[in-house]
Structure 1
């Protein structure tokens, strides 16, 4: 994973090392921090990274940048004069990500005046009045190093400004859009659109403890009424062997019609709060093309990493993982002290929709495990750490560590 650190030294010649004194790839960023790539961070745990004065640093970049095109280890990308992507060719999978003759990362602005409940409703007729925010004020190459290349774009609507840092990574196919909006457009709905070269009759959306599928067409009145769908951390459109996910860390409304994935970004309702959404807004979303469906492509893991960045602090610690599981489709959702202070409570769920078996493990010694209900009431005594789990099942355990 990638970790941003801010060492006390402002020296441009620093080296970073893991606990075995193995050097870690690093890059000084435009904001003065350092980006480190650590390949073996422990689950729900910690490790130490040491900082030393370096005599030389890695400066070679795997990125090739030109005026309107870019080649990364994963993609060949072109864009138009408005800074909108006109081609994203996936080199690893030999696939064009964007639909033919389309543009990606397009900001679409709609008049938003629902019949009832300004702040709660989006009526389908909003699509009748659409315009693009294509006025590009500036475009620059901000960073180009061994780990990351960053493009900076600034664009304006009639009243608002959108600033984006678009990050491409040396070891990840994720394209991350770090966004700041000074939003002053009232009664307007802002979406970002990615028409993709994927044909599927259903799209998948992340919900709590699982996912849900919705059709990509509006052939029935039921489909027509579900034009906007919640997605907690991601939405995905996949064929059997290839797909595209759109990840988010704070924007939860999607619509996917045919092969166009759109994420709802802002909605400045006039009632009951006349200042709703106005002012500075910061958020991040990511385009994540992948091999296979969202399970094979590890969309869930990648979206979780976007929503849970690595925290750093001064000090040293021996590497440890507090808890982890052996099943790739079982996710630990929370770890807390029990309400009665008798052990840890670990809650997890299965997200792939399959029966299976999992083992709850720790780098510490687990002395006792008891399965509980959601109220932390013990249900089974002396439960083993290996257990069966059903599709989308939620399990809660009381765990004692030595």
Structure 2
């Protein structure tokens, strides 16, 4: 006999689990009667549903049109059923995956949520005395399998085939699921524990070396277990079977093993492949599951971010929320992150990110009296270099991020590190080395977490978030059972059930000075999200500008005239906009339903805030009309060329409708590279290998069609502004480009109107510039950052598409050029050496994409873009031009309506508002934007009393003194520093 041939043993073990132990868990199960009522439209509440006419339903009955809701009434007769019972309900689950399908909420007869039902968590414990009849109501959601819409094949998933299921208007009406039945059985006992023992040991075998002593020891323990277990008497022999396995489970982990901090978690996207209304139910289901686990396991803790999700539960399910609040007070249900939602961080403005922290942190403080000190953003698509400073100003000292572990080219070389932002602020940051944020604690994940922890010899601790995410229901009893057995066992790293605070304390203790990362955490993936769903980008940017203006104008009206400040309305609108900045809404990666609702929400919010602005301006002196520029714009047509000129620039447009020359009349420099036109439209094939809406492949640069053909060229305008309009066609789309030169403006504007009807195409606007540079400065939140124009390294090459705010500036001694935009984020930069010497920098702006998944109609229709090109000696000139360009769509605040103004070009005021505590104090937020050390000066246009530095929640901070001298305020400021001040009106102080 070959004692080391364990293959037959392992096959017998697997059969024992599948054919005997798992079925034994349902021993004595009894079918129970079920009745159903399907809601004809949108979901209804429990009190309405229970009054409806339920009809009996049997196994095999189809139910659930896409996005529909069915209520199943389950009547459990406990007669003759001793002890604790478990109800199992299968509404048609696909048990091969935890989410992306039907799920349900279980209610009792009093309208109290008991727990949820999901594919991997389909049992409910019944609390009943013998002879009782227990009635439960199962609110089942027929959510489509959108990610696997083409039958669940791997090919369909990778290719992300278009599906009509993402919109109520296009989804078919046929039922998606079949009800399979409901059964009640005695609660499982020791057999379930034996299964957990076996599965942990099987996991050790899967990750271990087959020729190791440990492998043989575990196999021998399993063989010994098989010798004592009797499949005809499992209840009678399970204790001996577990005893046979005990020595293998008792063997301790290696002293050098990493420590994995397992934290209960359930990443729930606030919208994605389901609408916001379904997220509200998903959150309730997950929270109910967590509460059920806490009832049965006094050591279990759980973390949840996104104040918005807590607020939904508070509004929709007050009884459930009360139980959550009790566990929060116990310190077991832990609100983390302190943001309103887990937002994108590349696309929102700096002030938006400030408000994410303000609204989230304030909600947790007001609701629970707690304040977390960490950032929790596992799934955001890259992390701006401005985030450390913003987070620190909101009282956050550490951060958990994850998505950069998806990098397609380079790996961040450290797992725990001091992350330094653009202003020099550092926060302790961790990238869980397990690479995912929804593990079920299987052996493969635990070993991967240890093997990828970097640096290997320097770090011991890593955080492992566990629980089924995306509506999968969170942690389960099986995960906890597995985790308990994996605490200290040979063949696996050490695991402890933990919390973020405990983990970060251990991580901080082993952090050394060399473990650091400076600047943005750029995600080498999901680059298409800077462009996808153009309406999201425009709506968000429009609301950011309008809210900034509305707060300032309303504050001026309140301080200067005594008008009422609309605190509640502004806060509610901010919260609405912050929700839409969630990392699958603003980036454009949700189903059609989500984006349709978002477009409507933006329109409603815009109307509301424009009314606030109009009302505030009505209290204030009217703005005086500005004088016309002294030098008119000329337009001539000669030798087949169109020439526009003012005192600053001369632009030449040829017969193809291309700007073939843009000359700075002051310096004589040409802005365009020799022989290269400016503002060229290019259409590229856009078929990424997977994840249509998310990805933009590097190969997209290699193939593209320039729009040569001209349908029409038209002149318009007067001496104040002249325009050459060029009309082109491509495929099924039509393009109208307007080149506009205004009097007194040192910039040529490129206005592009597109009626877009392409599929899987990318539209770019390209500028070939005559400037030598190795890097380009891109606008970002509260400053700018430099990225390479050369592609020497793999890190450089991976940044073939990058996000930017408002401008890109390229400079060399004697010449700088600014490319400014209005709500365009995706940029690419490349450097080309010219024949005979010299180099060209090409800047491309991504205008539109047309992915088919998850929204088959993404960006079809009309869109408008504004870009300008100008000589710019430095970043300050680029910023001024970006301000001017933005002012074409939203008028700047008139001087008479300003309470505060900057007296320095590098000091940018981002918020002027009244304090949230309704004291009447004025809050001013500004930053140094040029990367220079100096003294910030602000002009005050109201009689200010005391002035103090405050954090983002408007609480006083220590710091260098602020000088208030009459109508001028000044203080020392470091490069890119963000400052918030609180000023009381003269004679009225809260200090």
The TM-score, its normalising length taken from structure 2, stands at 0.34
Tell me the residue number matched to 1:344: 922
2-side partners of 1:50 and 1:330: how far apart? 26
Q: Choose from 614, 623, 626 the match for 1:48.
A: 623
Does 2:845 correspond to 1:267?
no
CA–CA separation in structure 1 for the residues paired with 2:892 and 2:747: 22
Aligned to 1:65: 636
Does 2:967 align with 1:389? no
1:244-323 matches, cutoff 5 A: 244-258=817-831, 259-290=841-872, 292-295=873-876, 298-309=877-888, 311=891, 319=896, 321-323=898-900
Q: 1:152·1:165 contact (CA, 8 Å) conserved in 2?
A: yes
Partner of 2:467: none
Whole-Å separation in 1 of the counterparts to 2:741 and 2:820: 15
Q: CA deviation at 1:358?
A: 1.4
Query: What is the CA-CA distance between 1:318 and the residue it aligns to?
Result: 8.9
2:939 alignment partner, one of 355, 361, 367: 361
Aligned to 1:98: 672
Distance 1:253 1:285 in 2: 13
Q: 1:373 aligns with which of 951, 957, 970?
A: 951
- In 2, the alpha carbon distance for the partners of 1:127 and 1:183 equals 20
Give the superposition deviation at 1:304.
2.1
* 1:322/1:158 CA distance change after superposition, 3 Å: same
Q: What is the match of residue 160 of structure 1?
A: 733
1:333 counterpart SS class: strand
- SS of the residue corresponding to residue 126 of structure 1 reads helix
- Residue number in structure 2 paired with 1:240: 813
Corresponding position of 1:13: none
**CA distance in structure 2 between the partners assigned to 1:273 and 1:165 by the alignment:** 30
Aligned counterpart for 1:224 among listed residues 797, 800, 809: 797
**Secondary structure at 2:976's aligned position in 1?**
coil
User: Is the CA contact 1:47–1:318 (under 8 Å) kept in the aligned structure 2?
Assistant: no
| Aligned mates of 1:335, 1:218 — CA distance in 2 | 42
Any unmatched runs of 5+ in structure 2?
Answer: 1-619, 832-840, 964-968, 987-991
* 1:144 shift after superposition: 2.5
> What is residue 81 of structure 1 aligned with on the other side?
655
**What displacement does 1:285 show?**
1.1
SS of residue matched to 1:141: strand
Query: Can you list the C-alpha shifts for 1:133-175, whole angstroms capped at 9, x where unaligned?
Result: 2221111111132x21112221111111111232101211111
The one of 120, 125, 136 aligned to 2:710: 136
Q: How far, CA to CA, are the matches of 2:629 and 2:673 in structure 1? A: 37
Q: Does the C-alpha gap of structure 1 residues 50 and 102 become closer, same or farther in structure 2, counting only changes over 3 Å?
A: closer
Structure 1 residues 231 and 312 mapped into 2: Cα distance closer, same or farther (>3 Å)? closer
- The offset of 1:129, in angstroms, is 2.0
**How many residues are aligned here?**
346
Contact 1:231–1:253 (CA<8 Å) still a contact in 2? yes
Task: Give the match for residue 198 of structure 1.
Answer: 771
Q: Matches of 1:319 and 1:209 in 2, distance apart?
A: 26
Compared with structure 1, are the counterparts of its residues 273 and 46 closer, same or farther at alpha carbon in structure 2 (3 Å cutoff)?
farther
Q: Which structure shows the higher helix fraction?
A: 2
Partner of 1:326: 903
* Separation in 1, partners of 2:895, 2:713: 44
1:207 counterpart residue number:
780
1:23-82 residue CA offsets vs partner (Å, 9 max, x unmatched) = xxxxxxxxxxxxxxxxxxxxxx9753369xxxxx99994414115131332223222221
Q: Distance in 2 between matches of 1:103 and 1:308?
A: 27
SS of 1:379 mapped into structure 2: coil
The structure with higher relative contact order (CA 8 Å, sep 6+) is 1
Aligned to 1:6: none
- What SS class does the counterpart of residue 728 from structure 2 fall into? strand
In 1, the alpha carbon distance for the partners of 2:809 and 2:633 equals: 28
2:752 counterpart residue number: 179
Q: TM-score with structure 1 length normalisation?
A: 0.81
Structure 1's unaligned 5+ residue stretches are 1-44, 52-56
Give the conservation status (yes or no) of the 8 Å contact 1:159–1:183.
yes
RMSD over equivalenced CA pairs, Å: 2.4
Q: SS of the residue aligned with 2:691?
A: coil
CA contact (8 A) 1:240 1:293 kept: no
Secondary structure, aligned partner of 1:135? coil
Change (3 A) 1:271 1:318: closer
Alignment CA distance shift 1:46-1:393 (3 Å): farther
Distance 1:318 1:194, change over 3 A: closer
Q: What is the match of residue 150 of structure 1?
A: 723
1:191-219 per-residue CA deviation (whole Å, 9 max, x = no partner) reads 01110110101101000001111111111
